[in-house]
């Protein structure tokens, strides 16, 4: 693993690990923040829509686990996708700057919202990082091209060896 990945992954994961620990230990402190999006998220996961504390704990555990995986370089692409999926409702619930009446509060929430959008961008990069190896899509295209060339050569050899009447 390149030194940049060894440094960057834990840096990116640190917010999720600390936030995940906090959410698991003190879910009640985040309950009021999660209320605006909890019913929709809970419904899509088949969880009770009225148990926001449970949803906060689950989200915290997911962020903690995926954050640790990303930080240690284990299943980094899956961990990054998991964190990205978890970050969207967290951001929409926690940084609703458009609902703030006070300009200072609005600007503060906007900064945190954009910080999370930036983190989402980092997670997208981490999720698509193949560590220098060709992507699965590239390998599939290359295999298809090889198979096509091989089939074409086999067809040409077969046509040359068959006695076709002229």
18 within a domain of the structure (yes/no): yes
166 within a domain of the structure (yes/no): no
Residue 155: the pLDDT is 87
Same domain? For 90 and 153 the reply is no
Same domain? For 109 and 39 the reply is yes
Same domain? For 107 and 78 the reply is yes
Same domain? For 46 and 112 the reply is yes
Longest dimension (CA), the chain: 89
Same domain? For 140 and 111 the reply is no
pLDDT tens readout for residues 71-122: 999 999 999 999 999 999 999 999 999 999 999 999 999 999 999 999 999 9
Q: Between these two residues, 11 and 162, which has the higher pLDDT value?
A: 11
Dist CA 78 CA 72 (whole Å): 13
Q: What share of the chain is helix, strand, coil (3-state, %, to 5)?
A: 80, 0, 20
Dist CA 45 CA 55 (whole Å): 10
Q: Which domain holds residue 62?
A: 3-129
Its pTM stands at: 0.77
Residue 85: the pLDDT is 95
Dist CA 36 CA 55 (whole Å): 12
How many Cα neighbours within 13 Å face the side chain of 115? 12
* Backbone φ/ψ region at 132: left (φ over 0), alpha (ψ -120 to 50), beta: left
pLDDT tens readout for residues 134-146: 777 777 888 889 9
Mean pLDDT of 56-85: 96
**CA torsion angle for 126, 13, 17, 119 (degrees, to 10)?**
-80
């Amino acid at each position: 693993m390149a030194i940049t990945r060894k440094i960057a992954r834990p840096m990116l994961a640190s917010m999720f690990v600390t936030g995940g620990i906090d959410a698991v230990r003190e879910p009640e402190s985040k309950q009021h923040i999660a209320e605006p999006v909890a019913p929709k998220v809970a419904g899509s996961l088949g969880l009770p829509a009225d148990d926001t504390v449970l949803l906060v704990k689950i989200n915290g555990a997911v962020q903690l686990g995926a954050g640790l995986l990303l930080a240690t370089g284990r299943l980094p692409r899956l961990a990054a996708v998991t964190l990205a999926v978890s970050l969207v409702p967290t951001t929409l619930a926690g940084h609703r700057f458009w609902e703030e009446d006070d300009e200072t509060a609005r600007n503060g929430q906007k900064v945190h919202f954009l910080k999370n959008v930036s983190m989402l961008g980092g997670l997208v990069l981490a999720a698509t990082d193949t560590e220098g190896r060709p992507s699965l899509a590239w390998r599939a295209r290359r295999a298809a091209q090889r198979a096509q060339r091989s089939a074409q050569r086999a067809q040409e050899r077969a046509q040359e060896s068959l006695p076709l009447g002229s």
